[in-house]
A and B are shown apart, each in its own frame.
Chain A
Amino acid sequence: KAGVTQTPRYLIKTRGQQVTLSCSPISGHRSVSWYQQTPGQGLQFLFEYFSETQRNKGNFPGRFSGRQFSNSRSEMNVSTLELGDSALYLCASSLTPGQDSDTQYFGPGTRLTVL
């Protein structure tokens, strides 16, 4: 079974631009979560989508948004990029969101650099 895929793998943008990242979950998984990883803040939860609905959102500004499509693929968008948005963005998919035992399987990440 194919794993979680993320595109693109690398992105370079300039301040003020916007960016869209894409994530395809493991086949059969309907939940997709997004995380931001930076050297200073570590791994932080952005949001989770299930059945095209945002279930949960972490403590990030409104510039960060996402959506999920009927085939469970998800995109996240960051508008008006800031230097501090430079990070590795990880997507994870899972089967049974909301359960403590729900295991999230991660993709390879998209490394975003903002100049």
Chain B
Amino acid sequence: DGGITQSPKYLFRKEGQNVTLSCEQNLNHDAMYWYRQDPGQGLRLIYYSQIVNDFQKGDIAEGYSVSREKKESFPLTVTSAQKNPTAFYLCASSDLDSQYQPQHFGDGTRLSIL
């Protein structure tokens, strides 16, 4: 059954610590995305990647880093430079064959600060 798997579902970070959120897809999609959702807010784009070994900053990339070593995987690292990391993080993917392909989302990771 194809889809996007995000792990862990809940994650706690100590002050000054880097944490990495996992995102894996088996949809054979070229493009992958990371969004952040805060209460009462829409989805804000952190980073996106349209091809392996290439990625671009979204609207709120500061304090985050990503890698795209495999087509299936797009991990997000929340660094200590991100001063307000508490949020719900969503990973998504889409097929680039059609410009209008809707994005498929994982079930998210909720990150909290200890």
Bound pair (A, B): no
Interface residues, chain B, CB within 8 Å of chain A? none
